[in-house]
Amino acid sequence: MNSILNYETVSLEDDALVILDQTKLPNEIVILHLQTQPEIWQAIRTLQVRGAPAIGIAAALGVYLAAKNIHAEDYMSFFVQFHEAKEYLNSARPTAVNLSWALNRMEKVVSDNEGRNIPEIVELLRREAIAIKTEDTEMCRKIGEHGLTLIKNGDGILTHCNAGQLATSKYGTALAPIHLGRERGMNFRVYCDETRPLLQGARLSTFELVADGVDTTLICDNMASQVMKEGKIDAVFVGCDRVAANGDACNKIGTSGVAILAKYYGIPFYVLGPTSTIDMNIAAGKDIVIEERPAEEVTEMWYSRRMAPEGVKVYNPAFDVTDHELITGIVTEHGIARPPYSESLRKIMLP
């Protein structure tokens, strides 16, 4: 059987955005070819494509496809229709900054080339979308290089959610040091939180780590304290969907609890992500909009029969914010930021 690591998470083929449907993993490998904007919006919204970097790539490729189908006689008409398509895709999910970052970067191509004809602008958009994907692979490799300096062969690492290859173009962010280390013959013991309620750790992280030959152990979210207490964890690696200017990091729900436990047990807690997830326009984590997901994800999604009584209220935030005081370091493609983050993040964003 072909390894899951040999599949591209998101790519462009002719007139289609091609994604690996992550809602079907690990039991089925389903490749989707998406052509219309509603299809692409729905894929982002329903997590068929997920992970902050992968969402950004999908959005860039998706808005390029929208541009190809715009019928306009002049630049201004083209720009107005492009902006509408961009805003439509941007509405799919509110928290991951990579979505708006990639779409704004694509729109800048249009606004910077008013003097060109429309076919030329569309071609420039195609090149920019491909560049975003190519750059993501290189960024993830660099994040992996910096992350590898924080661990040694044989270490035990705890991770939450999935910030691996399935969330990016290659390598991942939080899992990049592990995949890169494996390429160099290193071995690690990785403990994956299942990550309720969507089970990205159970379904996705374990899937790709086992495929890479990593010593992988799945644990329920509420077992993290126990494995830390037993001395099995040397470091915690997590991804991020948005980082505020003060270092507060927004990631999959449950991350802040892991950070609190790590602080108690004296275990270093690292956030790994590209600089595109750092939002210097947001002063602190309290200003980050937290997406709330449907109640059905908690009450019935993974059960043959509904497991909660009808009428019970459900609170289902998709993310939480880890206070910067709990974070040992923020690992980016440009290096590792350390406290005080208001200074180190500003410096690391300069390149």
Residues designated catalytic: 241
> What is the distance between the alpha carbons of residues 127 and 155, in angstroms, rounded to a whole number?
41
Q: What is the DSSP string of 124-169?
A: HHHHHHHHHHHHHHHHHHHHHHHHHTT--TT-EEEE-S--BGGGSS
Residues 6+ apart with CB under 8 A from 226: none
Question: Residues, the chain, total?
Answer: 351
- Distance in angstroms (rounded) separating the CA atoms of residues 94 and 45: 10
Burial of residue 88 (CB within 10 Å: 0-12, 13-18, 19+) is middle
Give 250's Cβ-side CA count (13 Å radius).
Answer: 28
Give phi and psi for 79, each to the nearest 5: -60, -45
DSSP string over 19-52: EE-TTSTTT---EEEE-SHHHHHHHHHTTSS-SH
For the chain, the first-to-last Cα distance in angstroms comes to: 42
